[in-house]
């Protein structure tokens, strides 16, 4: 009986920080047993401090909801490297792109979330974002910074600084070298 229980728990322990795809980083407060409709059910009690929310998730369901342990440092490094890459913006309608970004954010995949942050990031020299772009950017940034903070045991503010530092290293982020350059030069530069 006990062996079955541990398998269901997938090695998750009380007080551990985890990632729950639909909500981001949470902490397992306890493992409870409840009787529901005559069946005993084991539940993880997960607290999402930032959202002031507590979830009870049946231990048997954690695989299907995609709950996972915090990313290992090499994966965090990969996510940070992703931020330095060139933004890949598909030329599809915004509503379609927004759905894709939303799906990436809720996938719980740290690298996919980093891609959203990279693609929606705007430096001070770039045009303003629309309200919905800004919202998705903030949501992705929030997820990414919370996980990086939990993995590296730093504050969220420090994690955001690290993310912004990586974004600043990306291509064409800073001010254009020649503000008065003609449009021909700009297109040649992009083609290179």
| pLDDT tens-place string over residues 76-127 | 999 999 999 999 888 999 999 999 999 999 999 999 999 999 999 998 888 8
CATH of residue 90: 1.20.58.1290
191, two tokens: 């083609």
SS3 92: coil
Shared-domain flag, residues 160 and 80: yes
**What is the layout of strands, in order, in the sheet containing 17-20?**
53-58, 39-48, 24-36, 17-20, 68-69
Shared-domain flag, residues 47 and 85: no
pLDDT at 189 over 50: no
| pLDDT tens-place string over residues 137-156 | 999 999 999 999 999 999 99
* Structural domain boundaries, residue 31: 2-69
Shared-domain flag, residues 60 and 48: yes
Q: What is the pTM of this model?
A: 0.81
């Amino acid at each position: 009986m006990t062996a079955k229980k541990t398998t269901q728990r997938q090695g998750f322990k009380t007080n551990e920080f985890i990632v729950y795809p639909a909500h981001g980083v949470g902490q397992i407060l306890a493992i409870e047993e409840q009787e529901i409709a005559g069946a005993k059910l084991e539940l993880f009690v997960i607290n999402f401090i930032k959202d002031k929310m507590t979830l009870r998730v049946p231990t048997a369901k954690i695989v299907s909801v995609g709950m996972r342990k915090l990313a290992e440092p090499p994966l965090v490094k990969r996510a940070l490297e992703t931020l330095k890459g060139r933004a890949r913006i598909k030329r599809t309608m915004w509503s379609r792109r927004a759905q894709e970004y939303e799906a990436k954010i809720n996938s719980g995949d740290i690298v996919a979330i980093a891609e959203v942050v990279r693609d929606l990031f705007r430096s001070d020299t770039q045009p303003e974002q629309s309200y919905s772009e800004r919202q998705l950017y903030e949501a992705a940034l929030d997820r990414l910074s919370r996980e990086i903070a939990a993995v590296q045991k730093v504050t969220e503010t420090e994690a955001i600084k690290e993310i912004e530092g990586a974004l600043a290293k990306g291509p064409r982020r800073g001010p254009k070298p020649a503000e008065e350059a003609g449009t021909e030069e700009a297109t040649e530069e992009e083609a290179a």
